């Protein structure tokens, strides 16, 4: 029933390749099917003005799409003079989600910026950015710990995200672009590795939904996050 | 336990005053406690380019805060040269939510713009904007129907929104600013009058949350939306 | 002869309601007929860089119109990316005018920002902003004096403004929108309570004017300012 | 008493040199003492959208200052990303003033843009721009008439402008920069050749003023405009 | 003598991998040592307004760097609100250079946009963009020809670019970043496959240079372009 | 053969008039035929942040065109909200070129800004800006030396620039606008007075070029620069 032939609760093939750029303190290319996002972590010994002197660290994120990551070419945001509303919304979500898995006292007064740049898009880029962004963050933190700059691990649980939705009347896991553009309900579910919830966003895109349907999507999302966390751990261990 | 002395499941006093500006096709001032939002509806016989010729109508929204609607003065967005990320996020949410209650075929090829301007802020401005925005929309549509421009009512169910959160470890309904700034989890729940869900946004702001807690907040939200819909109906009937 | 049926030298009904927002140090809603402007005063213990360390205070103003304060909806300046020329001209005028009534030594090194936001427009919004802005300023200064932060009153005379013009060949006081859009000559007259002039701006909008006509408009303006100052005093006394 | 040694009612030396650029339809360099402004007129066979099809013509103006036209270098407006409030105010004034001397029916549906670029500034640049701008406009219109494109002269009277102010307690004509920066009252007076008034702008810059003082400045302004109109006529005749 | 140990006339290892994104009409990742640029070609059946109806085609380019493509993170241009001067200069150069190898009559009235996004930077990104950009262009044109949309090949000769400079007093081919940042003279040489020159840009960065030195750099550049054209041909043949 | 009737190696008449504005530390109007550029030098006792404390000086440049310096009016860059790509490219070139002739140690920690504003354009404005800009720079430095602020002359050799191109198949010196718009190859050549090269930029504009042709243009450029340096010296000596 799904355009890709996947089962209702089947994710796309996930791969996470680490060490893909030589300059960043942590990096990976995450591929969820045909969605490919390059995630890099930049470590700086400074924090934003509003927490200067607090002893707390900060994790923030930026998001972008290459102009031809999409079926038809998008205008480059640098030429239109600003980031669009969708971009701002997504990068705020990525930063907020990753911070939920960080002990900011343990991190100490330093900032880690996660850049998520979509090389190829086929649905689910914000979720892939969070999942891959956590791997880049993990690698940058490992570097800090190896260097003896911090002693207590500020990352207690992995953070991962997956989209679920109601497509053709059925709850499905990990929407690809053909599904996403037709789904009646579309949700993003961000969790810790232990399934505690960080953020839930569920929008009616044409049909409203019941609490029952909401719970079915949450069940699927828990399954998906479990698989993503395994992929994150494998990638980090192999790095 | 709550700073305001309210019960855990008690909303702030709600009032909706209609007909507050003489130019708009529909207008109201919604007051949820000390949060006051002026909502106006503007009707235009044109639609955005992407639906021109489709026969479908469009409902969109814009959101703003007066510079001294807040405890300390905010910079006017017109002088900073752009709408901030939070503003853009909110106005996209208002528009999307209201459209979920509109039969765009019945509306016909016209656009209604809902402007939500916060006169005084004390938490929950986006929810108040949606609830008040629907009243302005309702009044503008009533004008269209009275004029005989449309025959079938494009608004089948009211749309209302309320925030709930976990404050001091307890689930509470309708957060005011002192609660909102301390809440560990903060959610916005947008529903039709029949309790079908339009949008759920629940964010961990310091503590992650379980599915049980999520369901407790949903229960509170259903109660709040029920009361808001009564207030909407009373205001429209009295207009 | 006037669309409103007023006499040539008759002002619209003026009302000034104080204390309309709970956050601002001073606030009022001024209504001149159907023109309604919300004026707030914000007090800050800092001054602009160019007078830092001088011991002098500063009073400045910002002006905005809600998108649907007008007959047809105006584009929100925050979305067009900048304040238009008219807005900038008006807010510079408001600030300059109010400063003319301020003893900046007595105010001391602090800044008061007057925000004038037009809720409903029917002509004469800049004059209403100055007249109402002075009330907000007066209330904020009273607060400073009551708190013992300043001892000598920095506001020696009230500041008020009124428009006059030549409409259908006749000099008229306090133009409303239908008159303003047809007037051949349009002037704004800003004075102290003692009728000393602060600013005169008289523009030919279709017909040039003689010195005689200019003097007729000044006579009307003096009458109007007298009435406005009475309204200001009554509002402040009742606050 | 004046820094320049001029009498109270003495203007600076005025010169108007025409034909200073080969591309413009009309051009002049106006010099009022050390204030030098290059004025060009550009003729286009199109009008702004709001008068398209009305048969009426349009005259508009833009104003700029070269970065080092002033004592200390000003930031180039093109690099700061927008025209400042003062620039916008001035160019709106120039356009409005020149239009007051134009019969827009006789001009027909075409637009003339007057660019006023300050090469060297020593006070009074906006008045010099209007006076010189009218000469550029006159020359462009002469070209149209010689070409037989219009038959009836759309310029019935010259337009000229001069500043007057109260300096060291005395009314003085044609303020230069040292006077302008110290003046207690500063006014710009724009008139037709026949002394009918187009625009009066008089601002208290530190001291308010009486109606008597206002009239003294108007007397000076009439004298100044008379001399400027003679200079305009001489320049046009010699072109 | 070179930091990399290369001979004076030795290029970095070049690889060109085609077909790297599924959406673009042509794409490659070009790697010149540690400089990696993703090049995509987008085909559109429309041309810019200035050639509409002329029957001629257009090739244009845009250039960007991912924020962490560099040693220290660069600010994202989309957040700073505009493309910097260096970016604009480079993308104009890429477009101009590629057009020099295109028969725009044969291309017909369509546009090909080449996006060059730097994934990892180590000097020479503009030259890599041109060389890789031509491969993307070639692949997109091949697609057009295979589809029978055009019959006569609009690409007569390949276009390639290489940098040369004077480093530590010696002429060297293909500067990497450590060389580039120390070079006294820095040149970019863009040629057709037959060594006809398209663009030469040679800048003194600290020491001026003689015509003899210029000719030595041109000799190196011809050698380098020869090797690049071989790599382009191999990549296209293998695609 | 040339539209102007000049010989292939004949420059336009060059004149350099110094002391043209009273405020700038150095100024000239350079005229190359109908191309007229006003160049001013501004001296400031501060340097950009990136060299603060280094003891080195800085020379930078800005470039602009008056709206009606061209055949048809150009939009003012201040109104379009940014400097265009061409403007940025040119002003970077002017600054870079002038710095190549400056001993920044001898200049000491101060900045000189060269503003080049095109009053009338007829081709070759960037070259005229460099040649005239150097004269303004020379005059400002002379002032510093006369004042005893610096002892060792930081300007060892003059800097001058000329364009050459291939027009109607022939190499020609100093392109005017009619030639520039038709030339197949267009080059800018910037040199010290001793003919050492600072920058060469040669672009194919329709036809590629051989190394032989490149050398012919360099020969012409050397001749042109020789004549320009004589004009610079004569202007400075007469100042």
pLDDT per position as a tens digit, D8-35: 999 999 999 999 999 999 999 999 999 9
> Burial of E184 by CB count in 10 Å (0-12 exposed, 13-18 middle, 19+ buried)?
middle
DSSP code, position F117:
E
Q: Please tell me which of the candidates B68, B83, B113 has its beta carbon nearest to residue C78.
A: B83
Q: Name which residue leads in pLDDT, D137 or B184.
A: D137
Is the Cβ pair A78, E64 closer than 8 Å? yes
Alpha helices in chain E (DSSP H): 77-80, 85-99, 104-107, 125-146, 177-180, 211-238
Is the Cβ pair E73, A27 closer than 8 Å? no
For residue A44, the chain E residues in CB contact (below 8 A) are 73
For residue B34, the chain C residues in CB contact (below 8 A) are 22
What confidence score (pLDDT) does residue D205 get? 84
Which two tokens mark C123?
């002509």
What confidence score (pLDDT) does residue C102 get? 97
F49: Cβ–Cβ under 8 A, 6 or more apart, which residues? none
pLDDT at E179 over 80: yes
Residue E177: Cβ within 10 Å count: 18
pLDDT at A55 over 90: yes
Helix (H) or strand (E) segment spanning residue B177: helix B177-180
How far apart are alpha carbons C137 and C210 in whole angstroms? 36
Q: Any known ligand binding at E76?
A: no
How far apart are alpha carbons F171 and F223 in whole angstroms? 13
Is the Cβ pair A78, E68 closer than 8 Å? no
pLDDT at C83 over 90: no
Return the exposure string of C115-154: e unless at least 16 CB atoms fall within 10 Å of the residue's CB, then b.
bbbbbbbbbbbbbbbbbbbbbbbbbbbbebeeeeeeeeeb
Q: Any known ligand binding at F76?
A: no
Is the Cβ pair A197, B202 closer than 8 Å? yes
Pairing type for strands D170-173 and D159-167 reads antiparallel
pLDDT tens digits, one per residue of E148-173: 999 999 998 999 999 999 999 999 99
Which two tokens mark E108?
């017909």
Q: Please tell me which of the candidates D92, D192, D214 has its beta carbon nearest to residue C208.
A: D192
How far apart are alpha carbons B239 and B18 in whole angstroms? 6
Task: Answer yes or no: is C1 within a domain.
Answer: no
What confidence score (pLDDT) does residue D22 get? 95
Task: Answer yes or no: is F2 within a domain.
Answer: no
pLDDT at E82 over 90: no
What confidence score (pLDDT) does residue A3 get? 95
Task: Answer yes or no: is D141 within a domain.
Answer: yes
Residue E150: Cβ within 10 Å count: 15
Residues F173 and F8 sit within 8 Å (Cβ to Cβ): yes
What confidence score (pLDDT) does residue D164 get? 97
Task: Answer yes or no: is A3 within a domain.
Answer: no
Q: According to the 3-state scheme, what is the secondary structure of E90-138?
A: HHHHHHHHHHCCECHHHHCCCEEEEEEEEEECCCCHHHHHHHHHHHHHH
Is the Cβ pair C119, B38 closer than 8 Å? yes
Give whole-number Cα distances, B89 to A191, B83, B184, D77, E81, in Å: 22, 10, 21, 32, 19
What confidence score (pLDDT) does residue B222 get? 97
Longest dimension (CA), chain A: 56
pLDDT tens digits, one per residue of A165-193: 999 999 999 999 999 999 989 999 999 99
What confidence score (pLDDT) does residue B78 get? 86
Which is nearest to E137 in space by CA: E107, E170, E168?
E107
**Quick one: pLDDT band at residue D80, thresholds 50, 70, 90?**
confident
For residue D63, the chain F residues in CB contact (below 8 A) are none
Chain D residue nearest residue C94, CA to CA: D203
Question: What is the domain extent for residue E121?
Answer: 14-73+80-238
pLDDT tens digits, one per residue of E106-139: 999 999 999 999 999 999 999 999 999 999 999 9
For residue C120, the chain B residues in CB contact (below 8 A) are 21-23
For residue B188, the chain A residues in CB contact (below 8 A) are none
pLDDT tens digits, one per residue of E106-115: 999 999 999 9
Give whole-number Cα distances, D42 to A68, D46, D98, D151, in Å: 42, 12, 14, 19
Query: Given CB atoms, is A209 within the 8 Å cutoff of chain B?
Result: yes
Q: Please tell me which of the candidates C77, C113, C119 has its beta carbon nearest to residue B78.
A: C77
Q: In degrees rounded to 5, what are phi and psi of residue C226?
A: -55, -45
Stated pTM of the model: 0.89
Give whole-number Cα distances, F116 to B153, D66, E180, F199, in Å: 65, 10, 30, 19
C146: Cβ–Cβ under 8 A, 6 or more apart, which residues? none
The answer to ipTM > 0.90 is yes
Total tally of structural domains belonging to chain A: 1
Interface test with E, best of A38, A42, A68, A79 (most E CBs within 10 A): A68
What confidence score (pLDDT) does residue C205 get? 84
What confidence score (pLDDT) does residue F207 get? 85
Is the Cβ pair F96, E203 closer than 8 Å? yes
Average pLDDT in the B9-37 region?
Answer: 97
Query: Given CB atoms, is F129 within the 8 Å cutoff of chain D?
Result: no
Task: Answer yes or no: is B92 within a domain.
Answer: yes
Query: Given CB atoms, is B52 within the 8 Å cutoff of chain A?
Result: no
Neighbours of chain D (3+ CB pairs under 8 A): C, F
Query: Given CB atoms, is D204 within the 8 Å cutoff of chain C?
Result: yes
DSSP E strands in chain C: the ranges are 14-18, 26-32, 35-44, 58-65, 111-120, 159-167, 170-173, 185-192, 197-204
Write out the binding residues of D for phosphate: 86, 124-126
The SS3 call for residue D15 is: strand
DSSP code, position C206:
S
Task: Answer yes or no: is E99 within a domain.
Answer: yes
Task: Answer yes or no: is A168 within a domain.
Answer: yes
Q: Any known ligand binding at E87?
A: no
Which is nearest to B220 in space by CA: B146, B147, B164?
B164
Query: Given CB atoms, is A35 within the 8 Å cutoff of chain E?
Result: no
Residue whose entry in the numeric block shows the structure tokens 């959406």: E23
pLDDT tens digits, one per residue of C26-68: 999 999 999 999 999 999 999 999 999 999 999 999 999 999 9
Interface test with A, best of B91, B199, B207, B210 (most A CBs within 10 A): B199
DSSP code, position B175:
-
Query: Given CB atoms, is B86 within the 8 Å cutoff of chain C?
Result: no
Average pLDDT in the D135-152 region?
Answer: 96
Mean pLDDT (chain B, rounded): 96
DSSP E strands in A179-220: the ranges are 185-192, 197-204
Average pLDDT in the F122-138 region?
Answer: 98
Is the Cβ pair D200, C200 closer than 8 Å? yes
Distance from CA of E131 to the nearest CA of A (A): 19
Half-sphere exposure of B46 (CA within 13 A, CB side): 2
Residue count (chain B): 239
For residue D100, the chain C residues in CB contact (below 8 A) are 204, 208
Q: How far is CA B233 from the centre of its chain?
A: 15
Give whole-number Cα distances, A2 to A168, B65, B114, in Å: 9, 44, 37
pLDDT tens digits, one per residue of A72-95: 999 998 888 788 889 999 999 999
Residue A202: Cβ within 10 Å count: 23
Give whole-number Cα distances, A73 to A69, B235, E124, in Å: 7, 47, 26
Which is nearest to E183 in space by CA: E196, E170, E200?
E170
For residue B117, the chain C residues in CB contact (below 8 A) are 66
User: In B, residues 174-193, which contact A (CB 8 Å cutoff)?
Assistant: 191-192
Task: Answer yes or no: is C150 within a domain.
Answer: yes
Distance from CA of D192 to the nearest CA of C (A): 8
Query: Given CB atoms, is C208 within the 8 Å cutoff of chain D?
Result: yes
**Quick one: pLDDT band at residue D69, thresholds 50, 70, 90?**
very high
Query: Given CB atoms, is A56 within the 8 Å cutoff of chain B?
Result: no
Number of cross-chain residue pairs from B and C with Cβ atoms under 8 Å apart: 89
Residue B202, domain CATH: 3.30.230.70
pLDDT tens digits, one per residue of B223-237: 999 999 999 999 999
Residues A69 and A119 sit within 8 Å (Cβ to Cβ): yes
Query: Given CB atoms, is F120 within the 8 Å cutoff of chain D?
Result: yes
For residue F208, the chain E residues in CB contact (below 8 A) are 100, 191-192, 196-198
Q: What percent of chain D has pLDDT over 70?
A: 100
**Quick one: pLDDT band at residue D81, thresholds 50, 70, 90?**
confident
pLDDT tens digits, one per residue of D44-61: 999 999 999 999 999 999
Q: Please tell me which of the candidates D62, D64, D120 has its beta carbon nearest to residue F23.
A: D120
B61: Cβ–Cβ under 8 A, 6 or more apart, which residues? B91, B94, B95, B98, B113, B114, B115, B116, B129, B133
pLDDT tens digits, one per residue of C156-194: 899 999 999 999 999 999 999 999 999 989 999 999 999
């Amino acid at each position: 029933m799904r355009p890709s032939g996947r089962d209702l609760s089947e994710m796309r093939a996930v791969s996470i390749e680490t060490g893909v750029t030589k300059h960043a303190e942590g990096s990976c290319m995450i591929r969820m099917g045909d969605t490919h996002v390059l995630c890099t972590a930049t470590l700086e010994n400074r924090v934003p003005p509003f927490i200067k002197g607090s002893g707390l660290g900060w994790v923030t994120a930026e998001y972008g799409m290459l102009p031809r990551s999409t079926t038809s070419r998008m205008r480059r945001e640098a030429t239109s003079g600003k980031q669009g509303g969708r971009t701002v919304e997504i990068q705020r979500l990525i930063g907020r989600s990753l911070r939920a898995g960080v002990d900011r006292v343990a991190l100490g007064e330093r900032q880690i910026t996660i850049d998520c740049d979509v090389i190829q898009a086929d649905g689910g880029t914000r979720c892939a950015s969070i999942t891959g962004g956590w791997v880049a963050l993990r690698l940058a933190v490992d570097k800090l710990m190896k260097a003896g700059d911090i002693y207590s691990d500020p990352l207690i649980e992995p953070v991962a995200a997956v989209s679920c939705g109601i497509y053709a009347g059925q709850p499905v896991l990990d929407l690809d672009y053909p599904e996403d553009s037709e789904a009646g309900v579309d949700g993003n579910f961000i969790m810790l590795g232990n399934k505690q919830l960080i953020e839930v966003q569920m929008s009616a895109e044409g049909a409203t939904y019941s609490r029952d349907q909401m719970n079915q999507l949450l069940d699927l999302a828990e399954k998906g996050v479990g698989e993503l966390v395994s992929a994150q751990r494998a990638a980090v261990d192999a790095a």
